[in-house]
Structure 1
Amino acid sequence: MEEEEEASLHVVVFPWLAMGHLVPFLHLSKCLASRGHRISFISTPRNLARLPKVPSKLLPLLHLVSLTLPHVDGLPDKAESSMDIRPQQAQLLKIAFDLLKPLLATLLQTLSPKPDWIVYDYASHWLPPIAAELGISHAFFSLFTAATMAFFGPPSSSSSLSSTMVNTRTTPEDFTVVPAWVPFKSDVVYRLHEVKTFVEVSSGKTKNSGVSDIERFAVSVGESDVVLFRSCAEFEPEWFDLIHELYQKKPVVSVGFLPPSVTGQEEKDDDGDERWIEIKGWLDEKRANSVVYVALGSEATLSRDELGRLALGLEQSELPFFWALRKPPESDQEAVEMLPEGFLERVTAENRGRVYVEWAPQVKILGHAAVGGFLTHCGWNSVIEGLSFGRVLILFPVMNDQGLNARLLEGKKLGLEIRREGEDGWFSSELVAETVRKAVVSEAGESLRVKSARVGAPLFGDKEVNRSHVDRFVRFLVEWRERG
């Protein structure tokens, strides 16, 4: 355990019900616990069971606290995470999440010692008043880049929800242009095919939970004591400057990227895992920097046609690939059954491609010397892991903030996007092959590979640099408490 702070804190952590949120909240919790602070990590039973194992040395300080998710008609049985549901059921999950409000309020009153801080997510817009009434300082933890949050605009300063970010954009087209409050040249905008579902949920056209996603963001940020970012000004200086302007006097604190080297994901406690041994054996046979690792996360879903074109594009690239392919939540078919006829047989017979339908140890795969590129959905967790190892990114955004991340990363020459066109986001298998080859092996992509290795890896993956961000963040929490 690292050196303890002079005055330890009790920090409550309360993430949204998605693995892409639960895991980085756990990473932050581990960083705090390793510095001698007590953590109460609150979520639902199935989500807590899904989390990576907490290192034994942290168990005395990092406590997992369970709250039963109330039942809501229309949600599948045992659904406690966004990975358990279809995208159309997302608002129902938020209804169930909002019903945790009285349960959490009661729990906060009973925790001992009294919490000093609660770190919360965008969905719990109702939490700041509870924390304020109980005298608990409250920090909004943004798992989104400063560019993404600035694109959404200034937050709400009250529960009235009157905010620029709520009221000025009501059509899909409004999200495909640079906002008026961005004073510099920017390509960080949505494409039309990316934003249609987002607008239906976030603008109020689909408000089954009674509160749109943009409203949740606005109030969660606006009523926080401080906003934390899993990013840093060294990576996106112009966007952090804009965030400070938009958030006015509200403190903005970077916690760094929380890469594998800082959060303990590099621990080799599962080297005996037969799955990893088998995967490693396959990777060991490949040339250095030749394999394309493909993973689109646990929630992003493609149609059968899109999946087929992506598969054929990988095959046409003639590069070896390892594809971690998950079954879509709404599908009755297994993922491999949605692939083109003969595809699996061809790539397997040539020992050139692997389609892996079980849980894949992503960090270990990305850290293997054979991997040269990462075809990713541009979720921020995956981006951080890929760049931590200096892997060039092949950008294939599917949902949520991923399109904005793709524009930001391509603009910084850390990846190359598979461009999708029109209102339906069409793309060809030939374009997939061309983009993959350019990013990973062609002379035209050499500058991308060099920058990913020489700039991306030191910034995103350096252990000491990222630890220094966490150290400054912890000092901020302690000093805030001491000021009363």
Structure 2
Amino acid sequence: MESMTNPSMETADKLHVVMFPWLAFGHMIPFLELSKVIAQKGHTVSFVCTPRNIDRLPKLPPNLAPLINLVKLQLPKVDKLPDNAESTIDLPYDEVKYLKMAYDQLQQPMTQILADLAPDWVIYDFAPYWLGPITTRLGISSVYFRVTIAASACFLGPVQVLKGLSGEDDRNTPEDFTVRPKWIPFKSNIAFRLFEIKRIFEDAATANDENVPVTYRLGAGIGACDVLAVRSSYELEPEWLKLLEEIHQKPIIPVGQLPTTGYDSCDNDEAWIEMKEWLDKQPQRSVVYVAFGSEAQPSQAELTEIALGLELSELPFFWVLRIRRGMPDSEVIQLPDGFEERTKGRGVICTSWAPQLKILSHDSVGGFLSHSGWSSVIEAIQFEKSLILLSFLADTGLIARLLEEKKMAYLIPRDEQDGSFTRDSVAESLRLVMVEDEGRVYRDKVKEMSGLLVDRAIQDKYVNNFVEYLKNHRQRS
């Protein structure tokens, strides 16, 4: 009698997925985390990125390395893009447009990779607005993966609005973006503050025609995909996930928060040993960890107020300070005179790479002064660290609004017109969230949400649902 097990059927049940992230670590890391959880289910992933970025990614766990193929795709040379600049971390903010220009020249080599690999699915980011038609032509199913919350996607609007089709959006002035748009039917505080949207308008006004607008990329990417995956969950924003499906009229699948795992072990690293020795000496939950991500850079005036606010707070702090964005950055920012001497012993200034996950996991850290980047927010929630927020770029203000609405974070008070803030407001905000009775709600809420948002069983449920969808809806037989 023949065996009931058919190896070919078992192989046919396995997926091959291609990942194609945008060249920012706030995007590459969530794409890598999604790759890991797909590989954990026994499926093959080809992670396509540029050589230098692949070399800078955290090492893969040995059990998953055979299932995740890291495919190096050479970034074309573009005028004004410095050599070795392969990520937003390598460039000042106003030069990222040259990185996008180089990225857009990957159309032909990416088409060839997809034709050669013939995967079941391609999971792509906002930047390759040109990829959807390629996957359609090749008969490959596609997922647009949004690495941040559904609420901000809802606020930005449907595809027609994102692509700038006339008559679809009646928002013309910055003030129009400070209230909820007509397609959001329920009451919500999620909207830009005036200084946030004014900065976005200013960036758009000073940009030249060398680039495709971010909103157009978003619209084209969402419009062309078969399914929209969101790094979120029903435990966080059920009403927004439902609305996103209504807005785009296509399947919306939350994949959970994908908490960051498996940074390179640096237990024996000399720099980490020194950091840990200092952290070990601090009282439990007393330290403020300060970091503003790989792209957001406070101005000199803002940095001065942050520094003097930290000093006034009298709290111990660990500050990962990026004084420049890559070698081309001419705007090197400086700490106030005498600041390091006056805070010596109480504060640490780290101007090189720091193991954020290890620092946040340390018992002495109680709060995180952050820019509202979703990966940083999730890492704070993962280790139950209270959030104090200063947003600087893109949709981080909308993320901050959602967290504020849910009492998951406290926003440092700022001037509505220009976004300025004072050292006193920084100090008062830090002390409120870290030590005062009035701020206990923020300390308690982050512990409550940690149990809901980064619970392993809940996360696994979302991944199982996503993978089953991919298995049942692929175009290829």
Range class of TM-score, shorter chain: over 0.9
Q: 1:208 to 1:201 in 2, by over 3 A?
A: farther
2:277 aligns with one of 269, 281, 305: 281
Q: Is the counterpart of residue 468 in structure 1 residue 448 in structure 2? A: no
Map 1:282-321 → 2, pairs under 5 A: 282-321=278-317
Instruction: Look up the match of 2:151.
Output: 147
Contact 2:139 2:476 in 1 (8 A): no
Instruction: Look up the match of 2:450.
Output: 457
Q: Is the counterpart of residue 212 in structure 1 residue 208 in structure 2? A: no
- Classify the secondary structure of the residue corresponding to 1:56: coil
CA distance in 2, matches of 1:44, 1:206: 25
Instruction: Look up the match of 1:90.
Output: 96
CA distance in 2, matches of 1:160, 1:431: 39
CA-CA distance at 1:127 after TM superposition: 0.3
Q: Counterpart amino acid of 1:147?
A: A
CA distance in 1, matches of 2:182, 2:195: 22
CA distance in 2, matches of 1:314, 1:164: 48
Contact 1:17 1:81 in 2 (8 A): yes
Instruction: Look up the match of 1:162.
Output: 165
**Segment of structure 1 superposing worse, 272-281 or 145-154:** 272-281
Contact 1:156 1:219 in 2 (8 A): no
Instruction: Look up the match of 1:124.
Output: 128
Q: Counterpart amino acid of 1:464?
A: A
Map 1:50-449 → 2, pairs under 5 A: 50-111=56-117, 114-156=118-160, 162=165, 167-200=169-202, 206-248=207-249, 250-260=250-260, 263-265=261-263, 269-329=265-325, 331-332=329-330, 338-348=334-344, 351-449=345-443
- Classify the secondary structure of the residue corresponding to 1:322: strand
Give 5+ residue unaligned stretches, structure 2.
1-9
Give CA-to-partner distance per residue, 1:21-48, whole Å, 9 cap, x none.
1111111111111221111111111111
CA-CA distance at 1:352 after TM superposition: 0.8
- Classify the secondary structure of the residue corresponding to 2:369: strand
Contact 1:5 1:36 in 2 (8 A): no
Contact 1:40 1:64 in 2 (8 A): yes
- Classify the secondary structure of the residue corresponding to 2:470: helix
- Classify the secondary structure of the residue corresponding to 2:189: coil
CA-CA distance at 1:425 after TM superposition: 1.2
CA distance in 2, matches of 1:115, 1:316: 56
- Classify the secondary structure of the residue corresponding to 1:60: helix
- Classify the secondary structure of the residue corresponding to 2:82: coil
Q: 1:444 to 1:5 in 2, by over 3 A?
A: farther
Q: Which has the higher contact order (CA 8 A, sep 6+)?
A: 2
* TM-score with structure 2 setting the length: 0.93
Q: 1:36 to 1:5 in 2, by over 3 A?
A: farther
Map 1:5-84 → 2, pairs under 5 A: 7-84=13-90
Give CA-to-partner distance per residue, 1:266-286, whole Å, 9 cap, x none.
x8x332222222211111111
Alpha-carbon RMSD:
2.1
CA distance in 1, matches of 2:96, 2:332: 22
Give CA-to-partner distance per residue, 1:316-354, whole Å, 9 cap, x none.
00111111111222644765xx00001001111xx1111
Contact 2:140 2:475 in 1 (8 A): no
Contact 1:124 1:216 in 2 (8 A): yes
Contact 1:163 1:218 in 2 (8 A): no
CA-CA distance at 1:298 after TM superposition: 1.3
CA-CA distance at 1:210 after TM superposition: 4.3
CA-CA distance at 1:146 after TM superposition: 0.6
Structure 1 residue runs of 4 or more that deviate by more than 6 Å after TM superposition: none
CA distance in 1, matches of 2:429, 2:167: 38
CA distance in 2, matches of 1:89, 1:331: 9
CA distance in 1, matches of 2:243, 2:174: 24
CA distance in 2, matches of 1:429, 1:5: 61
Q: 1:15 to 1:422 in 2, by over 3 A?
A: same
Q: Counterpart amino acid of 1:14?
A: F
* TM-score with structure 1 setting the length: 0.92
- Classify the secondary structure of the residue corresponding to 1:65: strand
